[in-house]
Amino acid sequence: MEIAQLQTNQKILEDNVSLKPFCGFIRGMHFHLGQHFKEAIKYWKLVKDDKEATPQLKIMALYWIGYEQNNTMDFDNATITFENAAILADKELKDDALKYELERMKIESKSFNDSKFEPESLLPEIESLFKRIQNSDEFRKAKSKILGTLGNICLQIANKYRKNNDETISKQHYEKAKNSFLSAPEKDKWIRFGLGESLYRLKEQKEAEDIFRNVFIEATEEYSSRIEPRTKVLGQTTVLICSMWVKDKTMNDKVDSIYSSLTQQTIGPVDERLSVYSQVQRRNVPKKRFFEDLKELMDEFKCSTSS
């Protein structure tokens, strides 16, 4: 990479050549893709503090700092970073759509921090954010993202009560999750997957299967085309779950090979210090917890196919 070569050769140049803010941002992204997260954050912090950086670039740097902090399970600092980014978007850009998205990321960071925040405690905050957003085309994407996070938090609550055999409360929150995902103006594959899970848990099997078949195709593409190891894991995990939850022998027969590939190959390149996004818990978890979640899924699948 030319930027890296420039840095290496700075010492032989007569005049010190500093990286321009945008080059520094790209350098951080290079380290991020290589899972060198400390170096990535270092460069993005330089961009954030650079007087020559535009407000847009500073916000972009803050976003990626928060994203990396979530990856390393530094949830408290990620929450602060996204809050600072939202303040900057409001102050410098007067961009409400971006501000709402960054505020959503702040709440999502809290939802990852299960040792500090119960998902029930975050419902009022995400619902308040949704009520503040305006109904116009300008806010369609931000509104959809907020509803996606609201739905995921409801799934966290519903799954917790389902495991505690409290069918009444779990069903209430699966219904709430379903309505949140259905209300999203723009339904990307992750919102549709969340809707599919809600329908599946509510025993609306046909509607759920229609969604899982389509998401299976998109998640396969996500797994095949992406570079970042964590993203590949997310794609293949989603493929695995779709294969489990469709009552179709052709898809069910793929489960063992997908599971084996995921656990033995795909997750291997993920740095041990990084978290992995768990579709079971709807949050970032350590690799050990991720494997436990996968085993739980496999046990549930084997139980359902043997009965």
How many structural domains comprise the chain?
3
Task: Give yes or no for a contact between 80 and 121, defined as CB atoms under 8 angstroms apart.
Answer: no
pLDDT of residue 13: 38
Domain assignment present for residue 210? The answer is no
Q: Name the residue range of residue 35's domain.
A: 1-108
| Distance of alpha carbon 244 from alpha carbon 148, whole angstroms | 23
Inside any domain, residue 306 = no
- What lies within 8 Å, CB to CB, of 196 at 6+ separation is 208, 211, 212, 215, 242, 245
What is the chain's pLDDT, residue by residue, as a tens digit (307 residues)?
444 443 443 443 344 445 689 899 999 999 999 999 999 999 999 999 999 999 999 999 999 999 999 999 999 999 999 999 999 999 998 888 999 999 999 999 999 999 999 999 999 999 999 999 978 888 999 999 999 999 999 999 999 999 999 999 999 999 999 999 999 999 999 999 999 999 999 999 999 999 999 999 999 999 999 989 999 999 999 999 999 999 999 999 999 999 999 999 999 999 999 999 999 999 999 999 999 999 999 999 999 888 6
Asked if the structure places residue 113 within a domain, the reply is: no
pLDDT value at residue 1: 46
Q: Are residues 263 and 183 in the same domain?
A: no
Q: Cα–Cα distance between 158 and 265 in angstroms, integer?
A: 31
- What pLDDT is attached to residue 18? 54
* Count of alpha carbons within 13 angstroms of residue 187, beta-carbon side: 16
**Interatomic CA distance for residues 110 and 118, integer angstroms:** 9
Domain-terminating residue out of 70, 87, 108: 108
Domain boundary among 77, 108, 139: 108
Let me know how many helices (H) and strands (E) the chain has, helices first.
15, 2
229 and 281, same domain (yes or no): yes
Residue 305 lies in a domain: no
Residue 7 has a pLDDT of 44
Residue 42 belongs to some domain of the structure: yes
Q: From CA 141, how far away is CA 123, in angstroms rounded?
A: 20
pLDDT for 2 equals 44
CATH number at residue 36: 1.25.40
Please check whether residues 35 and 87 belong to one and the same domain: yes
Final residue in a domain of this structure, among 180, 203, 226:
203
Has residue 237 been placed in a domain? yes
**Residue 98 sits in the same domain as residue 157:** no
Q: Is there a single domain that holds both residue 7 and residue 89?
A: yes
Do 278 and 257 fall into the same domain? yes
pLDDT value for 307: 64
* pLDDT value of position 50: 93
Same domain, yes or no, for 161 and 259? no
Residue 24 counted as domain residue: yes
- Residues 184 and 134 placed together within one structural domain of the fold: yes
Query: CA angle, corner 266, sides to 261 and 267, nearest 5?
Result: 115
Write down the pLDDT at residue 62: 97
In a domain, 208, yes or no: no
pLDDT, position 164: 94
What global pTM score does this model have?
0.90
In the chain, DSSP assigns E strands to 276-278, 283-285
